[in-house]
């Protein structure tokens, strides 16, 4: 995977993937949204966890509750659109070495461990590169399909924070159980969405400081609103940034 640009070969393969997914959804009127719970159920025992340095990403569809979804026709259209959108967002996250932890109905949570991916790279750089590809995929691949179907495309926003997180398995043996990310980093990443507008990528100070220097200086702008969050150790504010960079063009 290339984390510096959007390769033409990857984009062409992604475009084909989205088209095939669109065709499969059209063939199945009873299509069910893809649900993913990772890591694998054998990775952790109930009540146990592991601590990892990671970038945590949240994706949220804007104004989702205001969309019409009362009639059978509206619900079917919504299901097909969500299936297309989230299936591709999950695939993109996995392509960048991310792990999708849960689907919240109108959003996703994913994490990117340090020194993972192919080739290995920091979680922050992979998460931001992934967000850029998600934005490009929405605009150039998914939106045209939804518009052609008479469905108003989704606007969405992304937030990313970085730190040490405990990934734990909670639930009941031989019954319902799932994974949860525990830690300030995951909490901040979720709350950051409230500071993001449609098509925004917002990142915490910890993410910014772990990005390449030119990414920091050229594309990370201090968010105009104060978060109210402070470092306990020195009472300095924890800054939030808008990441304004986008993939400019395809490379060979």
Q: 26: number of CA atoms within 13 Å, CB side?
A: 10
Q: Give me 75's structure tokens.
A: 């619900």
Residue 1 lies in a domain: no
39 domain residue, yes or no: yes
Summarised one tens digit per residue, pLDDT across range 165-204 is 877 766 555 555 556 667 678 788 888 888 899 999 999 9
Residue 114 within a domain: yes
User: Domain residues for 231?
Assistant: 6-251
Query: How confident is the prediction for the chain on average, in pLDDT?
Result: 83
Q: Is 132 a domain residue?
A: yes
Contact 107/56 with Cβ under 8 angstroms?
Answer: no
Angle between helices 72-95 and 8-27 (to 10 degrees): 150
- Answer for the pair 3, 125: CB distance below 8 angstroms, yes or no: yes
Is residue 126 situated within a structural domain?
yes
| CATH number of the domain residue 240 falls in | 3.30.70.1230
Domain count for the chain = 1
Q: Evaluate whether residue 27 is within a structural domain.
A: yes
Other Cβ atoms less than 10 A from the Cβ of 250: the count is: 14
- pTM for the full predicted model: 0.84
């Amino acid at each position: 995977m290339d984390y510096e640009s959007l390769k033409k070969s990857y984009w062409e393969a992604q475009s084909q993937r989205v088209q095939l997914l669109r065709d499969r959804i059209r063939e199945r009127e009873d299509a069910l949204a893809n649900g993913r719970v990772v890591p694998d159920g054998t990775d952790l025992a109930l009540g146990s966890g592991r601590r990892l340095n990671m970038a945590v990403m949240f994706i949220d569809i804007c104004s989702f509750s205001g969309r019409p979804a009362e009639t059978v026709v509206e619900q079917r259209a919504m299901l097909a659109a969500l299936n297309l959108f989230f299936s591709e967002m999950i695939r993109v996250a996995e392509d960048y070495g991310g792990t999708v932890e849960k689907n919240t109905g109108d959003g996703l949570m994913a994490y990117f461990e340090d020194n993972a991916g192919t080739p290995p790279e920091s979680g922050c750089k992979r998460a931001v590169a992934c967000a850029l590809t998600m934005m490009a995929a929405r605009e150039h691949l998914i939106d045209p399909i939804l518009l052609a179907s008479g469905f108003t495309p989704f606007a969405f926003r992304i937030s990313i924070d970085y730190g040490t997180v405990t990934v734990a398995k909670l639930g009941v043996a031989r019954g319902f159980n799932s994974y949860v990310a525990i830690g300030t980093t995951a909490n901040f990443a979720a709350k950051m969405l409230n500071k993001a507008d449609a098509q925004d990528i917002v990142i915490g100070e910890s993410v910014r400081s772990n990005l390449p220097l030119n990414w920091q200086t050229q594309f990370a702008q201090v968010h105009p609103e104060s978060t109210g969050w402070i470092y306990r150790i020195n009472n300095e504010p924890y800054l939030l940034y808008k990441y304004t960079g986008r993939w400019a063009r395809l490379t060979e």
